[in-house]
Amino acid sequence: MTTQDNTGGLFGPLFHGSAIGAVFTDRAHLQGMLDFEAALARAEAKTGVIPAEAAGPIAAQCDAALYDLAALAEGATRGGNTAIPLVKALTAKVAARDKAAAGFVHWGATSQDAMDTGLVLQLRAAVALIEADLAKLSGNLATLAQKHRQTPMVGRTWLQHALPITFGLKVAGWLDAVERHRARIIELKPRLLVLQFGGAAGTLAALGDKGLVVAEALAADLKLALPATSWHGARDRVVEFGTVLALLTGTLGKMARDIALLMQTEAGEAYEPAGEGKGGSSTMPHKRNPVAAAAALAAATRVPHLAGSLLSGMVQEHERGLGGWHAEWQVLPELVQLSAGALAQMTEVTGGLEVQRDQMRANLDATNGLIMAEAVAMALGAKLGKQEAHHLIEAASKRAISEQRHLRDVLAEDKTVLLHLDRATLDKLFDPLGYTGVAAALIDRVLAARRT
């Protein structure tokens, strides 16, 4: 449920995206519950629990556009949830046209049945949007990984130059994580997209011996799975979805952080797609800010705390909880929208990422060959032993720094080095692409896993 019938106001397009916002408007919240009520009437009519002629008049009034949001919000402050005033309003609308049918509105159900099932219907729409964007993101990353499998760049650890890698390998790392999130969502859908229908205390006692028959018909009508029992007080289904999205948002935040760092003036290795007014400054004409990364990082900052609220709310009392369930109503939609918004931002960025190959290559030379120190040490270690070679290259590196010279030139003056490594070998050892290990094979493994 949201507090207003829009897609997040001024900040909605930045943090939520557009499509996902429509899933979580107040109207959509009401429509989910009304879809439950219409399906319930049809299922009960089909199974002989209510008169067959009652279903049509009830379903005819199950359109959220017919209801006054402000009046329902006021009613929720007295009833404690939105289902109570909605069922009352639905009953009144049905009674105005068919008094007999009005007596069978919400027959045998409880408020939480309508709200939880309505939420699941909203989440089903949200999952479809998220899966579509994840597929696009995966495709974008696969294209980048393949295209840049031989694009050398600086690998950084603790924000410092470490060893050469390829940009394709960096992207493959992002892709590998994204594919795990896609798998998680596929795996959780059978647990998430299920009917909630238990009546007042989960027994469906009001329906006598027809409880399960109605439940089966209701689940079939809504195209939801029928769980073994109602889950009023067991919130792991929706909390699992929230935590999986929190994991996804963390990965999106990691991607955003990497791209933002690559966009720094001192690096200049990759840029978000350019566009009219994109990333500009109100005062500095030259600025090109990583705005999509900022939005994704904001989501990655907020979502873990929202997921924490969902986890805290799992400790519920007896058959139906007090407070924990209520805490989900605004937290879960906000979490889903933030996650989906970050996903939309990073999907757009990776679809048009501007990769600066020349700058990546130039940055490899920024330390005058020091980034290749390990490569030389390993080659020399095969002749002298690892420790002796390490100490020799460490001393040469310090000299290169103090004299502001290229490490290769310093080593070319060392008789011990030349005794074991000639100049041609030294030159080869200072080729960054010659020291990227099995990067290409790792990229192939990620791409192959994605295809299967």
Q: Is 398 exposed, middle or buried (0-12, 13-18, 19+ CB in 10 A)?
A: exposed
Strands 160-166, 270-271: pairing kind = unpaired
How far is residue 284 from each of residues 170, 270, 289, measured CA to CA in Å? Answer: 31, 21, 11
Write down the catalytic residue from 320, 357, 361, 405. 320
Q: CA-to-CA distance for 231 and 235, rounded, in angstroms? A: 7
Q: CA-to-CA distance for 259 and 68, rounded, in angstroms? A: 46
Q: CA-to-CA distance for 407 and 60, rounded, in angstroms? A: 80
Phi/psi of residue 271, each to 5°?
-140, 145
Write down the catalytic residue from 18, 97, 281, 312. 281
Residues 6+ positions from 84 with CB-CB distance below 8 Å: 75, 76, 111
DSSP string, 264-280: STTT--EEPPP-TTTT-
Q: CA-to-CA distance for 200 and 220, rounded, in angstroms? A: 22
Q: CA-to-CA distance for 243 and 71, rounded, in angstroms? A: 34
97 is an active site residue:
no
281 is an active site residue:
yes
How far is residue 107 from each of residues 66, 206, 244, 301, measured CA to CA in Å? Answer: 21, 8, 35, 44
Phi/psi of residue 194, each to 5°?
-130, 155
Residues 6+ positions from 133 with CB-CB distance below 8 Å: 340, 343, 344, 347
Q: CA-to-CA distance for 229 and 219, rounded, in angstroms? A: 13
Q: CA-to-CA distance for 391 and 393, rounded, in angstroms? A: 6
CA-nearest of 235, 420, 418 to 309 is: 235
Active site residues: 281, 320
